[in-house]
């Protein structure tokens, strides 16, 4: 017994010493090699373990850039989505942002910029990046005339549907909100889940409320609330809550949707058990990854969010967003060159194949087909393009929107209270 403990202790000691020397070596190495410039790059994982194709691609691009620029070293750090959100927040709050990192743009990014945690790359965007990326897409990564990064993916949230189920139940693709509401009981009767929803992760649920508000009040309602001439307590947002409540009363979601994750949502749809899913351009990819049978992705259709009767919004109004990278404060100047290198037509085409993005670099869209092409066109034709609220609005307000929608769905808040929750957070933040 004693011997065993002593052994364990010795091992622990040796290991600890080994570790200190490892970390010493590392810091020495960093200090001694003042020559090479290091770029810390934080990317999201594709979640398929170490052989994740996205990670492999990112590492390959980094290596290519290093080969072309011997004085630069790109450190690729891969994070799972929710872990990334936690980590980046702490890194920003601790004043220690990475040099180049994933961002959905919008208000969250603006918050980082306001705290002085981002590098203003406006000049580079204007001189170089704007030549290959449309100014609309770049705008998501800019604010008040200043740019902090660039997108690599820009799409839309749309209503995905399972053609087989719709045919079996005998319903048309809903063009109006009323049609969707009448379809729900029919689909339930046929033994399918009308709508898959992962409200435990909150953001998939907030899409529904935001789209309803867009269809009911159009761009004017949002601009009024955002600009200060109106508020998030306005009729539009209360009515959006009422419509969502109408839908929720029909119990269209799978059992336990309130705690379900987005993975659960895509699994149910991917397995062909649900008729609809309101999700972004990446949906087919995730559905296929998560499903066991693949039934749901065989005959996949996509349509715009239905119109609400009497609403001011147009069917071409689109809510969506993209994925991109922004440049942290104190990043080496080579960072933007690497970003530019990453945003090549070839890389974009590869990303289309690997993760189903909607490319932003001109010339890469030629590889799009089918549903993704439809989404790219919807984005292109959008009269009013609204970035997801949870990214567009400041973090505290974005969280409040998601909370309000969750409360609405759980039945603990009335439409008016939900709207007030959002407005309170907004007034505090303004």
The footprint of other proteins on residues 3-32 (CB under 8 A) is: 4-5, 8-9, 11-13, 15-16, 18-20, 22-23, 26-27
Q: Which stretch binds other proteins (CB under 8 A): 60-68, 156-164, 331-339, 407-415?
A: 407-415
34 binds other proteins (CB under 8 A): no
Residue 361 phi/psi, 5-degree rounding, is -80, 130
The footprint of other proteins on residues 181-210 (CB under 8 A) is: 199-200, 202
The footprint of other proteins on residues 117-136 (CB under 8 A) is: 117
The footprint of other proteins on residues 76-95 (CB under 8 A) is: 77-83, 86-87, 89-95
Q: What is the DSSP letter of 202?
A: S
- Cα(203)–Cα(106) distance, rounded to whole angstroms? 15
Q: Which stretch binds other proteins (CB under 8 A): 133-141, 172-180, 184-192, 248-256?
A: 248-256
63 binds other proteins (CB under 8 A): no
Q: What angle do CA 423, 425, 430 make, to 5 degrees?
A: 90
285 binds other proteins (CB under 8 A): yes
- Candidate residues 29, 32, 34, 51; the one interacting with other proteins per rule CB under 8 A: 51
- Cα(326)–Cα(336) distance, rounded to whole angstroms? 9
Q: To which residue do tokens 């998560």 refer?
A: 290
| Nearer to other proteins (CB atom), residue 64 or residue 399 | 399
Work out whether strand 193-195 and strand 274-279 pair parallel, antiparallel, or are unpaired: parallel
- Candidate residues 46, 306, 311, 359; the one interacting with other proteins per rule CB under 8 A: 46
254 binds other proteins (CB under 8 A): yes
Residue 188 phi/psi, 5-degree rounding, is -60, -40
Q: Which of 156, 159, 133, 104 is nearest to 358 (CA)?
A: 156
Q: Which of 161, 162, 157 is nearest to 389 (CA)?
A: 157
Q: How far is the CB of 45 from other proteins (least distance, A)?
A: 6
Q: To which residue do tokens 């969707």 refer?
A: 180
321 binds other proteins (CB under 8 A): no
Q: To which residue do tokens 């750090």 refer?
A: 77
Q: What angle do CA 206, 429, 314 make, to 5 degrees?
A: 40
Q: How far is the CB of 14 from other proteins (least distance, A)?
A: 8
Q: Which of 162, 131, 97, 126 is nearest to 329 (CA)?
A: 97
- Candidate residues 61, 98, 348, 350; the one interacting with other proteins per rule CB under 8 A: 98
Q: Which stretch binds other proteins (CB under 8 A): 75-83, 126-134, 159-167, 311-319?
A: 75-83
Contact at 8 Å (CB) between 279 and 160?
A: yes
Structure tokens at 359: 């490319």
| Nearer to other proteins (CB atom), residue 43 or residue 278 | 43
| Nearer to other proteins (CB atom), residue 268 or residue 352 | 268
418 binds other proteins (CB under 8 A): no
Q: Which stretch binds other proteins (CB under 8 A): 64-72, 159-167, 253-261, 367-375?
A: 253-261
- Cα(389)–Cα(107) distance, rounded to whole angstroms? 9
- Residues that bind other proteins (rule: CB under 8 A) add up to a total of 82
Q: How far is the CB of 282 from other proteins (least distance, A)?
A: 8
Q: How far is the CB of 316 from other proteins (least distance, A)?
A: 30
- Cα(426)–Cα(424) distance, rounded to whole angstroms? 5
| Nearer to other proteins (CB atom), residue 19 or residue 353 | 19
| Nearer to other proteins (CB atom), residue 13 or residue 68 | 13
| Nearer to other proteins (CB atom), residue 21 or residue 316 | 21
| Nearer to other proteins (CB atom), residue 96 or residue 235 | 96
310 binds other proteins (CB under 8 A): no
- Cα(390)–Cα(207) distance, rounded to whole angstroms? 9
| Nearer to other proteins (CB atom), residue 101 or residue 237 | 101
- Candidate residues 25, 33, 293, 381; the one interacting with other proteins per rule CB under 8 A: 293
Q: What angle do CA 210, 213, 217 make, to 5 degrees?
A: 150
281 binds other proteins (CB under 8 A): no
Structure tokens at 354: 């690997």
Q: To which residue do tokens 């209270």 refer?
A: 417
99 binds other proteins (CB under 8 A): no
Q: Which of 209, 261, 262 is nearest to 236 (CA)?
A: 209
Residue 306 phi/psi, 5-degree rounding, is -65, 155
């Amino acid at each position: 017994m004693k011997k065993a403990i002593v052994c364990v202790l010795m091992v622990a000691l040796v290991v600890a010493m080994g570790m200190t020397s490892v970390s010493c070596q590392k810091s020495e190495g960093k200090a001694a090699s003042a020559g090479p410039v290091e770029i810390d790059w934080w990317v999201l994982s594709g979640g398929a373990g170490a052989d994740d194709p996205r990670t492999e691609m990112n590492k390959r691009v980094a290596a290519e850039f290093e080969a072309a620029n011997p004085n630069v070293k790109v450190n690729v750090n891969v994070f799972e989505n929710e872990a990334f959100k936690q980590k980046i927040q702490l890194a920003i709050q601790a004043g220690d942002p990475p040099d180049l990192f994933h961002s959905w743009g919008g208000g969250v990014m603006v918050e980082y910029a306001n705290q002085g945690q981002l590098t203003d790359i406006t000049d580079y965007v204007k001189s170089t990046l704007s030549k290959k990326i449309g100014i609309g897409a770049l705008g998501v990564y800019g604010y008040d005339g200043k740019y902090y990064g660039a997108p690599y993916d820009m799409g839309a949230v749309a209503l995905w549907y399972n053609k087989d189920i719709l045919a079996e139940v005998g319903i048309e693709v809903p063009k109006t909100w009323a049609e969707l509401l009448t379809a729900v009981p029919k689909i339930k009767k046929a033994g399918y889940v009308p709508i898959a929803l992962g409200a435990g992760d909150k953001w998939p649920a907030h899409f529904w409320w935001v789209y309803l508000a867009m269809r009911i009040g159009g761009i004017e309602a949002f601009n009024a609330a955002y600009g200060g001439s109106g508020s998030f307590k306005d009729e539009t947002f209360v009515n959006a809550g009422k419509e969502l409540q109408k839908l929720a009363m029909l119990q269209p979601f799978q059992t336990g949707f309130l705690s379900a994750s987005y993975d659960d949502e895509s699994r149910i749809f991917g397995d062909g058990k649900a008729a609809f899913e309101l999700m972004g351009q990446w949906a087919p990819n995730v559905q296929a990854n998560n499903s066991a049978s693949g039934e749901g992705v065989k005959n996949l259709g996509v349509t715009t969010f239905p119109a609400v009767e009497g609403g001011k919004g147009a069917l071409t109004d689109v809510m969506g967003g993209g994925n991109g990278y922004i440049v942290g404060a104190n990043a080496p100047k080579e960072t933007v060159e690497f970003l530019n290198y990453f945003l090549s037509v070839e890389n974009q085409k590869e990303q289309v194949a690997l993760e189903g993005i909607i490319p932003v670099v001109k010339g890469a869209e030629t590889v799009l087909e089918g549903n993704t092409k439809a989404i790219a066109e919807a984005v292109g034709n959008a009269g009013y393009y609204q970035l997801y609220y949870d990214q567009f609005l400041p973090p505290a307000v974005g969280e409040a929107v998601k909370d309000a929608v969750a409360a609405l769905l759980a039945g603990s808040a009335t439409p008016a209270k939900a709207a007030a929750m959002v407005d309170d957070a907004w007034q505090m933040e303004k």
